[in-house]
Amino acid sequence: MDERNNSVILRESIRKLERKLGILEESELSCCEVSLAQCHALVEIGRAKAISLNELAELLNLENSTMSRTVSKLVDSGYVKRDIDAVDRRYLTISLTESGQDLFNQIETGMGSYYQDIFSRIAENKRDQVIESLNLLLDAVDKSNFHNGNNCC
């Protein structure tokens, strides 16, 4: 098969994967009482323990303004708090509240089980290959000229 046909197959495979994982339903999808974007933010904040808005936006590949609105909703819901840095008062640190930590733990447990179930359904002799292939794909996406918002749809 030529490279053009393979890129079409890659595109269609990724589109199918997005649909199966529910990624296209982002605006309607809720994850443990929060939107998908809020869920991703909670996970990254929980893993980092404390993080700046800029660092969080960079991790999630979102504009600072979008990230700020997402974090504000999490603050309003009582899952996240903003703390002023003791050394540099212009610097805000975002961290989880106790209820945010509980929700983070619930998300991590649920998603861990979900992906463990998926992974267990892959033939044992193909598991390393799947992980390697996904890492190659992520690396190619990172290096793509279209990655920085120049792609449509």
Q: CATH code at 106?
A: 1.10.10.10
- Is 140 within 8 Å of 132 (Cβ atoms)? no
Amino acid of residue 142 = D
Please check whether residue 114 lies inside any domain of the structure.
Answer: yes
Question: 146 in a domain, yes or no?
Answer: no
- Could you tell me if residue 143 is inside a domain? no
Distance between CA atoms of residues 49 and 55, nearest Å: 12
Q: Count of domains in the chain? A: 1
Pick the more confident residue, 27 or 72: 72
- 17 has which bridge partners? none
Residue 141, in any domain of the structure = no
What mean pLDDT is predicted for residues 57-69? Answer: 91
Tell me if 97 is assigned to some domain.
yes
Q: What is the SS3 assignment for 65?
A: helix
Domain around 120: 30-136
- In the structure, what pLDDT confidence band is assigned to residue 89 with cuts at 50, 70 and 90? confident
